[in-house]
Amino acid sequence: MAEPLRFISFEGPEGSGKSTQAARLAARLRARGVSTVLTHEPGGTELGREVRRWLLHQGAAMSPEAEFLLYSADRAEHVRTVLEPALAAGSFVICDRFVDSSYAYQGYGRGLDLAWLRSVSDGILRGVRPSLTFLLDLPPERGLARLAGRDRLEGESLTFHRRVREGYRSLAQSEPERFVVLDAELPEDELEARIAREVISRWPSLSGF
């Protein structure tokens, strides 16, 4: 039986600790000699870094549609130049945010039509989708309190962030075979251990890592 595509994404609201856990998982895999690419969205490519500057700059005003299309441009470049080559080489790819972020933030948060978001995304993903997605869940009040500063999205209203959280929960409920929902308020070491156990269950060849 063929193993799943070696693509794992981390999702969650602001301040959930997903970047920390993505980095810990990548370090754990590399320590066992497993070829691993740790990347993120937006900003995982040279083009993406410029897009990220526009998307997250506090003073940048834009329509929800423009916001989504900028994320999509970043994602299209990311898929072609980072994800596809790494996966073709047999590496694990650990991605801090992927397309589910757009569905949660621009779909549920901004109110854009999910069918349209999925249609556009289908054209740029080229069949590249995570086999496993960890959703680090916590109330937005707790997550925002963890942040030292606020970028454009982090500075949105609490109501917006609550919609995003509910969006993530709905996405997870719709694909329980892909999503693993974890309490982001657990201690970091415990979260890391739970994540490692789940990864081993999907890729048994990694047993003991």
- Find the distance separating the first CA and the last CA of the chain, reported in whole Å: 21
The tens place of each residue's pLDDT in the chain, 209 residues long, gives 568 899 999 999 888 899 999 999 999 999 999 999 999 999 899 888 888 887 777 566 789 999 999 999 999 999 999 999 999 999 999 999 999 999 999 999 999 999 999 999 999 999 999 999 999 999 988 867 776 556 667 777 889 999 999 999 999 999 999 999 999 999 999 999 999 999 999 999 887 66
Could you tell me the residue range of the domain that residue 160 belongs to?
A: 7-203
Strand-pair partners of 7: 93
Find out whether 107 is annotated in a ligand binding site.
no
Find out whether 16 is annotated in a ligand binding site.
yes
Domain-embedded: residue 149: yes
Domain-embedded: residue 209: no
Domain-embedded: residue 25: yes
Find out whether 43 is annotated in a ligand binding site.
no
Domain-embedded: residue 152: yes
pLDDT at 56: 72
36-40 β-sheet, strand order: 36-40, 92-96, 7-11, 132-137, 179-183
pLDDT at 207: 75
Find out whether 17 is annotated in a ligand binding site.
yes
Domain-embedded: residue 24: yes
Domain-embedded: residue 122: yes
Tokens of 7: 């693509």
Domain-embedded: residue 208: no
pTM comes to: 0.93
Largest CA distance in the chain: 51
Find out whether 121 is annotated in a ligand binding site.
no
Domain-embedded: residue 97: yes
Find out whether 12 is annotated in a ligand binding site.
yes
Structural domains in the chain (count) = 1
Find out whether 207 is annotated in a ligand binding site.
no
Find out whether 19 is annotated in a ligand binding site.
yes
Tokens of 179: 């999503």
CATH number at residue 191: 3.40.50.300
